[in-house]
């Protein structure tokens, strides 16, 4: 009697070289957590622990050993889980310095409690009645490759395109934005850019002024995190709304979250549960942002469809009309087959498609 957890390592293979200012991804290790009652193992919840190399604060060389240690501790506790004690268990079992592991356990436990049906939140999205508006993501690469992606996103029906910038020549990146704006007004196509901290504080203001010519909706993390005073100055003077992303990583104390947003005063924040410590921490960020009139949206962090499913269902719990960053399900050759489908720039939960969970049997 009692809940048990089993870990499964899975290496996701990208369909192309996915470039960011921190490097290029061709594959990514992820870890699935299967939680079940030892007396009834056919009913199980699934979660995903998937740190991002070079970005997650729990991207340790011995990550798998740390995760296995958390699993061993869990298996020795003979736990019974209820809705009211999930956060208590998580806070005592998993350190806040292990955000991806906390997210994996949290979503696996919720899934198990809801009957092991991959239903994290029983809302209109998972019932197939509501789709989630998402942005189409253009990865870094050669100008030709980036233009090819832009064309694909427009043909696929996206009306919000997010382009990663900061890796190739900045003038070439501007020319891509210019080509989009020459064809589509900002009423037709919303443009977001994500610098992933690629600009120096000294050059950032000039580059923001250049980007302003292309009616940019927002720019994510123009300079690297922890340069709080410089970021505050940019948010105050930027002609383009700034969204904090990496800036939020590692901040788990409620008061510190409030202090950060009060000081920097961004227009938006980007919430990635894998990097921030799970859904409960995202709830806190959302609550604080709402108090301070800061906009927000959720973004997946290269999880498989297991993690993406949980984030999408969480997103659907809120009446947020901004496009979410949840279009990463088609990145991999060997993703977990699921009911998640992107169509006409929206993420749908197709009840006619089934989960392929053969690797967990």
CATH number at residue 15: 3.30.390.10
- Does some domain include residue 238? yes
Q: Please give the pLDDT value at position 206.
A: 95
Q: Please give the pLDDT value at position 96.
A: 92
Q: Please give the pLDDT value at position 16.
A: 84
Residue 141 shares a structural domain with residue 282: yes
User: Which residue numbers in the chain have pLDDT < 50?
Assistant: none
Given 4, 102, 153, 164, the catalytic residue = 164
DSSP class of residue 77 equals S
Q: Please give the pLDDT value at position 264.
A: 98
Region for residue 346 given its phi and psi (left: phi exceeds 0; alpha: psi -120 to 50; beta: otherwise):
beta
Distance CA 99, CA 70 (A): 13
Residue 39 shares a structural domain with residue 136: no
Range of the domain at 55: 3-113
Residue 252 shares a structural domain with residue 317: yes
Active site residue 272: yes
Q: Please give the pLDDT value at position 135.
A: 97
The count of domains in the chain is 2
- Does some domain include residue 225? yes
Distance CA 25, CA 303 (A): 13
Q: Please give the pLDDT value at position 1.
A: 56
Residue 150 shares a structural domain with residue 298: yes
Given 28, 102, 207, 272, the catalytic residue = 272
Residue 105 shares a structural domain with residue 144: no
Active site residue 13: no
Distance CA 182, CA 52 (A): 36
Residue 136 shares a structural domain with residue 266: yes
Phi, psi of 236 (to 5 degrees): -75, -35
Phi, psi of 103 (to 5 degrees): -60, -40
Distance CA 276, CA 318 (A): 18
Cβ–Cβ under 8 Å, residues 267 and 242: yes
Phi, psi of 351 (to 5 degrees): -70, -10
Cβ–Cβ under 8 Å, residues 166 and 196: yes
Per-residue pLDDT tens digits for 46-70 = 999 999 988 899 999 999 999 999 9
Q: Please give the pLDDT value at position 295.
A: 98
> Helix 305-315 vs helix 279-291: angle between axes, to the nearest 10 degrees?
30
């Amino acid at each position: 009697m009692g809940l048990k957890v089993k870990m499964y390592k899975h290496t996701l293979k990208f369909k192309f070289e996915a470039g960011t200012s921190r490097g290029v991804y061709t594959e990514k290790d992820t870890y699935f957590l299967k939680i079940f009652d030892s007396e009834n193992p056919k009913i199980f919840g699934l979660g995903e622990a998937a740190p991002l190399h070079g970005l997650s604060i729990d991207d340790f060389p011995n990550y798998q050993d740390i995760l296995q240690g958390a699993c061993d501790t869990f298996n020795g506790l003979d736990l019974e889980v209820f809705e009211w004690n999930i956060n208590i268990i998580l806070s005592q079992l998993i350190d806040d310095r292990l955000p991806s592991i906390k997210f994996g356990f949290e979503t696996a436990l919720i899934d198990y409690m809801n009957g092991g049906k991959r239903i994290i939140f029983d809302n209109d999205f998972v019932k197939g009645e509501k789709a989630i508006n998402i942005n189409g993501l253009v990865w870094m690469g050669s100008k030709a490759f980036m233009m090819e992606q832009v064309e694909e996103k427009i043909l696929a029906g996206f009306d919000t395109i997010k382009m990663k910038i900061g890796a190739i020549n900045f003038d070439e990146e501007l020319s891509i934005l210019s080509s989009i704006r020459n064809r589509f007004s900002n009423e037709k196509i919303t443009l977001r850019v994500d610098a992933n901290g690629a600009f120096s504080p000294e050059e950032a203001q000039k580059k923001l002024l250049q980007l302003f010519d292309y009616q940019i909706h927002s720019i994510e993390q123009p300079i690297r995190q922890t340069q709080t005073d410089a970021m505050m100055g940019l948010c105050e003077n930027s002609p383009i709304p700034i969204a904090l992303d990496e800036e939020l990583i590692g901040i788990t104390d409620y008061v510190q979250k409030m202090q950060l947003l009060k000081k920097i005063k961004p227009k938006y924040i980007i919430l990635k549960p894998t990097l921030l410590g799970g859904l409960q921490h995202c709830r806190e960020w959302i609550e604080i942002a709402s108090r301070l009139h800061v906009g927000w949206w959720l973004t997946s962090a290269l999880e498989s469809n297991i993690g993406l499913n949980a984030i999408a269902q969480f997103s659907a719990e809120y009446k947020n009309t901004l496009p979410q960053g949840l279009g990463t399900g088609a990145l991999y050759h060997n993703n977990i087959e699921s009911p998640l489908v992107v169509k006409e720039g929206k993420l749908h939960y197709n009840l006619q498609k089934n989960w392929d969970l053969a690797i967990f049997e």
